[in-house]
Amino acid sequence: MTAIQVDLLIVGAGPVGLFGAYYAGVRGLSVAVVDSLSQVGGQVSAMYPEKQIFDIAGFPAISGRQLISNLAEQAAPYEPVYLLGQEARQLERVARDGQPDLLVVKTSSGQEVTAGAVVITGGIGTFTPRPLPAGEDFLGKGLEYFVPSSSEYTGKDVVIVGGGDSAVDWALMLQPIAASTTLIHRRDAFRAHHASVEQLKASPVKIITNAQVTQTTGDAQLEAIEIKVTGESTNQTLKCHKLVAALGFTANLGPLREWGVELHDNRHLVVDSAMRTNVSGVFAAGDITHYDGKVRLIAVGFGEVATAVNNAAVHINPDAQLFPGHSTDNQAPLPLSV
Ligand SMILES: Cc1cc2nc3c(=O)[nH]c(=O)nc-3n(C[C@H](O)[C@H](O)[C@H](O)COP(=O)(O)OP(=O)(O)OC[C@H]3O[C@@H](n4cnc5c(N)ncnc54)[C@H](O)[C@@H]3O)c2cc1C
């Protein structure tokens, strides 16, 4: 088991957790961010990276991918430690004389993180991609569940499986750079947004409906797939270097339910106006929280996590001020006129 110690541990690297990492840095707190996904960005990266978001303050429109990239860039100067691909599982407490307890979180990879406080920004819980059983042998060797960046798809024969927004968005995104792009969907009708489906139909993406992947073949890397189209007697073989299974996700609060935090509807964590849970040293922000009047939006989560981290800073050091100061402080004044 590997172990690290930080001032603050953030559970969840969605947009709210990333902004929390920035605020931890502003407060001079060392910070680690754990996420069960292999990439940062939570729901935004997993479900709608190519969509424009219109309700982020100060950005009339910004793509999901750009928002997450900006948030990571904003936190980067404070060097957060990202522990990706691991789920935060157990929470233990270490009492100290005359000081607040330390919290120890153990992850699914055997990592132990000791922190002065924990902020849970776990959204709708741990996401698990719905698997594509016929492709599991090539996971990481051609089969993927996300398209974090498009560069690896240049000049490749790409097949995307699914009928939702992610499948359609990724097909549209990769088509201009891939050697070929095929979208396979097991039904006739798409769940994706109507306008995106129309764009897809007008694009060079080859669409095969009422079809399922039955087999994947290759050597070290994926080379081809076999598909069964309903009503056809023989299976088709397609050249395929990259197979993207965009079949959706299941989400589960999972181990966080065992941390002793008061739950609402068995899915959300009850917080007070300082974003404290009932467990001392454990705060929460973003989609995972519940209080009267809660609105689940990124804009709301950003405010909540600023509150959570600043209150966590005071929990860690009771002599610290709650108010962090203004980000504009300590700058040379700009000239009034040019
Ligand atoms: C299709 C779609 C469109 C949307 N459009 C908008 C929009 O236009 N505007 C808007 O404001 N909102 C929109 N939303 C909602 C928005 O995405 C969420 O409000 C936002 O993602 C919440 O951010 P978060 O950081 O709280 O949680 P999430 O984005 O859910 O991130 C939580 C992260 O925590 C991780 N996690 C959970 N439990 C654990 C654990 N035990 N260990 C490790 N990691 C864990 C998860 O893997 C996940 O990565 C949309 C949502 C969807 C699905």
* Segment 196-252, tens digit of pLDDT: 999 999 999 999 999 999 999 999 999 999 999 999 999 999 999 999 999 988 888
- The better pLDDT of the pair 337, 239 is held by 239
SS3 64: helix
Let me know the angle formed at the C-alpha of 287 by 112 and 280, rounded to the nearest 5 degrees: 50
From 298, 302, 305, 307, the mutation candidate for ligand 1 (largest count of ligand atoms within 8 A of CB) is 298
Question: What are the distances in angstroms from CA 123 to CA 19, 120, 146, 315?
Answer: 14, 9, 18, 23
From 44, 59, 91, 119, the mutation candidate for ligand 1 (largest count of ligand atoms within 8 A of CB) is 44
67 CA to middle of ligand 1, Å? Answer: 13
Determine the pLDDT at residue 229. 97
Q: Whose Cα sits closest to atom 47 in ligand 1?
A: 126
Ligand 1, pocket residues at CB < 6 Å: 11-17, 34-37, 42-44, 47-48, 53, 55, 87-88, 121-127, 254-256, 286-287, 296-299, 301
Q: Tell me, what amino acid is at 39? A: Q
What is the pTM assigned to this prediction?
A: 0.84
Residues with Cβ within 8 Å of 182's Cβ and at least 6 positions away in sequence, in order, are 158, 159, 160, 205, 206, 207, 208, 238, 240
Rounded CA gap, 188 and 206, in Å?
14
User: Does the pLDDT value for residue 338 go beyond 70?
Assistant: no
336 CA to middle of ligand 1, Å? Answer: 41
Q: How many CB atoms lie within 10 A of CB 100?
A: 15
- Exposure pattern of 287-321 as b/e (b: 16+ CB <10 Å)? bbbbeeeeeeebebbbebbbbbbbbbbbbbbeebe
Determine the pLDDT at residue 46. 84
Annotated binding residues for FAD, written as ranges, equal: 35, 43, 48, 88, 127, 287, 328
Residues with Cβ within 8 Å of 51's Cβ and at least 6 positions away in sequence, in order, are 63, 64, 165, 169
SS3 118: strand
Rounded CA gap, 253 and 85, in Å?
16
Q: What does the block give as tokens for 8?
A: 């603050």
Residue 47: pLDDT band (50, 70, 90) is confident
Residue 337: pLDDT band (50, 70, 90) is low
